[in-house]
């Protein structure tokens, strides 16, 4: 059950340094690609009350305007918040300025397999975890493997066992940027999109597939063609 109003913050910058026109490049039979897919998913989610799309891309604004949906609010982002040098911290303040209250669900068009059903489930989990003492949520991938940093293992002790079975290794959470969910109060008080006690919500590895590099785009198309994921 939804407790507070949940507004989606969807930042979408013009251009891409690694995949040209990534956000509007045709994908999976959708003429406007990732932005078309993501807006449809968010509009279909009953758990999301409003969507704030912040972009400096005129073609995206034009497409989004054509949907004529009152749930969707458009913001033309100013240039100083639209460069590759813009920090996430700057966007945190930007999201708070645009939304102001309630819960803020931050997501990206580059996660095309996070669909309406997933967003509904994530909001439900968030509400449950808030009641259990957590103050925010972010989605992760669970990594079961031998992880090293600074020339030493970080998730097992070689003095105890040099090569433990991977099934017995403590899994490590990798933030996948699929969803960050917290109240506007967290944004205001901590200048952050998560609180001091975030719940780490693991996603299926295929569902959480993120499109960042050219090969990610190709893999995503293959996953969809094979029917291994749904939009």
Q: What pLDDT shows up at residue 167?
A: 87
Please check whether residue 1 lies inside any domain of the structure: no
Mean pLDDT calculated for residue range 10-37: 89
Please check whether residue 157 lies inside any domain of the structure: no
In tens, the pLDDT along 181-226 reads 999 999 999 999 999 999 999 999 999 999 999 999 999 999 999 9
Q: How many domains does the chain have?
A: 1
User: Residue 69's domain spans which residues?
Assistant: 6-140+174-225
**40 Cα distance to chain centroid:** 15
Tell me the pTM.
Answer: 0.94
Q: What pLDDT shows up at residue 150?
A: 96
Closest C-alpha to 106, from 86, 88, 87: 88
Please check whether residue 156 lies inside any domain of the structure: no
CA–CA separation, 146 and 210 (whole Å) = 23
Residue 106 near residue 180, CB atoms below 8 Å: yes
Mean of the per-residue pLDDT values of the chain: 94
Please check whether residue 160 lies inside any domain of the structure: no
Closest C-alpha to 208, from 104, 115, 103, 146: 115
In tens, the pLDDT along 137-160 reads 999 999 999 999 999 999 999 999
CATH number at residue 125: 3.90.550.10
The band of 4, judged by pLDDT with boundaries at 50, 70 and 90, is confident
Please check whether residue 13 lies inside any domain of the structure: yes
CA–CA separation, 36 and 41 (whole Å) = 9
CA–CA separation, 4 and 183 (whole Å) = 9
């Amino acid at each position: 059950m939804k407790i507070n109003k949940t507004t989606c913050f969807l930042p979408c910058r013009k251009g891409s340094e690694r995949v040209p026109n990534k956000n509007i490049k045709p994908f999976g039979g959708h003429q406007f690609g990732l932005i078309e897919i993501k807006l449809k998913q968010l509009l279909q989610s009953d758990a999301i009350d409003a969507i704030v799309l912040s972009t400096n891309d005129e073609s995206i604004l034009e497409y989004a305007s054509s949907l004529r949906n009152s749930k969707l609010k458009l913001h033309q982002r100013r240039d100083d918040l639209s460069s590759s040098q813009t920090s996430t911290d700057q966007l945190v303040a930007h999201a708070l300025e645009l939304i102001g209250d309630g819960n803020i669900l931050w997501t990206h068009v580059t996660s095309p397999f996070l669909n309406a059903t997933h967003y509904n489930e994530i909001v439900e989990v968030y509400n449950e975890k808030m009641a259990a003492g957590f103050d925010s949520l972010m989605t992760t991938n669970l990594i079961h493997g031998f992880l090293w940093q600074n020339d030493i293992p970080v998730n097992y002790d070689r003095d105890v066992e040099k090569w433990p079975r991977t099934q017995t290794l403590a899994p490590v959470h990798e933030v996948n940027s699929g969803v960050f969910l917290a109240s506007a109060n967290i944004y205001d008080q901590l200048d952050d999109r998560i609180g001091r006690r975030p719940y780490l919500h693991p996603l299926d590895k295929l569902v959480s597939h993120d499109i960042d590099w050219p090969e990610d785009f190709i893999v995503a198309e293959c996953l969809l063609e094979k029917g291994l994921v749904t939009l």
